[in-house]
Structure 1
Amino acid sequence: MKRERINIDKIEALKELELFKELKEEELKNIEKFFVVKKFKKGEYVFYEGDKEPGIYFVIDGIVKLIKETNEGKTVILRLATKGESFGWLVMKDNRPPVNTYTAQALVDTTVLYISNQDFLKLLLMYPALAVRITCELTKNILEAYDRLKSLAVEKVEGRIATLILELVDKIGKKEGDNVVINAPITRQDIAEMAGTTVETAIRVISRWKKEGILDTERGKIEIFDIDYLQDLIS
């Protein structure tokens, strides 16, 4: 498929990423050649589990869901990568597997900066301090996925859905008066996959919360009226 060309200043985009904020303007000019801007439509796959040619993606705008298929054939969303966050698979010299271990799909129209595994290793040799920061970033991502899997194992379904919504609030929520709004087309299917439950159960829980005035859902938006209620479910 021919990828749409995007007019974006890669240096300005790199400046917005925490990993590269300490680099000077001249250094950013030296490394921007390693990056490629890619755009994915809502629902389009960035890569599939098992794909070769691993690399690192940085979200410039949009949301990407990272999906893992279980042995039972169920789909679990490990985490959502939002603006400023990274995802992908970095292979060091003897690090394996040399393939992506999960599937990445654009939840909304998304723009990313992509760097190949080979070029990223060149980057680390040029700027060793980046190795420490990328290690911290990858560790954070792994812990987030671990927390998601742990919640699937120990929390009740209401707690898992509450955890998911609070995660979205933390990442992309916006304060509107006394309420918090999540502007993203999160479907019941997405909620079910991220909470490790059935679509029917997700619908039932969300519908009950709507009746109780905890939150409301519209097309492309979730508005939370009582965030304390959700926090109490997981405390």
Structure 2
Amino acid sequence: MVPHSDYPKYMALLQTKPEFSKFTENEMQIFSQDVVFKKYSKGQALYDQGDKRDKFYFLIDGIIRTERFDENGEFNYYEYVNKNHGFPYRGLFHDREYSYTARAMTKITIAVFSMSTIEIILRQNNAMMELVIQEMGQIISQNEDQLQNMVTSSASDRVRHALEIFGYRLGQKDENGQIHVDYPVTLIELAQVSATTRETASAVVSELIADHKIAYVHKKITFLN
């Protein structure tokens, strides 16, 4: 748990983020009375697929992975949420349960809001509703692209696409145009996201290193020019 003495600092930080930029002063005051700031350790689940969908989260620091399984527990689908993003957007105003599990992949600091408070205020604030619709549109587009590549690609292509996802979702570009993923991606995790074997993931990574497309040092990926 985050000490209450730190709450003003975190509330001031939230007001600088696009997802809170269109809320009025009165609405931010409501949020300040509703919010709880928390810290989670790596590996902890914030909620499980099927739990009551009663909280909305904003990731202040760290990385979250969402994990969705079919009713038989056989098909899995992974996504990543980087810091300075809110979730879950799926199911707003409709779903009663979370459609996926959210797990901390690093130490994280997070703001937790009542879902009902978020939904009530969104209904009253057209500017914020527009931003949410835009965010949901981007998420849908990314998910469609990811599913298409996972279904139609070969195993090697799926690994390459998974690496692109890590770069796009979690990467930061430096002054030389190289993209660094400051998150340790193991070959096992890469294989899970790619729906293939560790051996295939390792072979693709080795090929990309040999072609000077990526660097892979201490499990961290850099996309080279």
Q: Same fold (TM over 0.5)?
A: yes
Cα offset for 1:4?
5.3
Q: Write the mapping of 1:1-235 to structure 2, written as runs, cut at 5 A.
A: 3=1, 5=3, 7-8=6-7, 9-25=9-25, 27-70=27-70, 71=72, 73-77=74-78, 79-88=79-88, 89-92=90-93, 95-96=94-95, 98-171=96-169, 172-175=171-174, 177=176, 179-226=178-225
Deviates more, 1:168-177 or 1:147-156: 168-177
Cα offset for 1:116?
1.8
Deviates more, 1:129-138 or 1:113-122: 129-138
SS for the counterpart of 2:184 is coil
Amino acid corresponding to residue 223 of structure 1 in structure 2: T
| Change beyond 3 A, Cα 1:80–1:125 | same
Amino acid corresponding to residue 50 of structure 1 in structure 2: G
| Change beyond 3 A, Cα 1:224–1:130 | closer
Cα offset for 1:122?
2.7
Contact 1:54–1:90, Cα closer than 8 Å, also in 2: no
How many pairs align?
Answer: 220
Amino acid corresponding to residue 17 of structure 1 in structure 2: K
Cα offset for 1:125?
4.2
Q: RMSD in angstroms over aligned alpha carbons? A: 2.5
For residues 110 and 221 of structure 2, what CA distance do their matches in structure 1 show?
25
**TM-score scaled by structure 2?**
0.84
- Following TM superposition, where does structure 1 have runs of at least 4 consecutive aligned residues deviating by more than 6 angstroms? none
**1:83-132 CA distances to partner (integer Å, 9 max, x unpaired)?**
2222225442xx23x11111111111111212122211232244343222
Contact 2:31–2:113, Cα closer than 8 Å, also in 1: no
Unaligned runs of at least 5 residues, structure 1: 227-235
**1:19-53 CA distances to partner (integer Å, 9 max, x unpaired)?**
22133556433432222212221111111111114
Unaligned runs of at least 5 residues, structure 2: none
Amino acid corresponding to residue 42 of structure 2 in structure 1: K
**TM-score scaled by structure 1?**
0.81
For residues 50 and 64 of structure 1, what CA distance do their matches in structure 2 show?
18
Deviates more, 1:21-30 or 1:149-158: 21-30
SS for the counterpart of 1:152 is helix
Cα offset for 1:64?
0.6
Amino acid corresponding to residue 207 of structure 2 in structure 1: R
Contact 1:35–1:114, Cα closer than 8 Å, also in 2: yes
Identity of aligned residues (%): 22
| Change beyond 3 A, Cα 1:47–1:186 | same
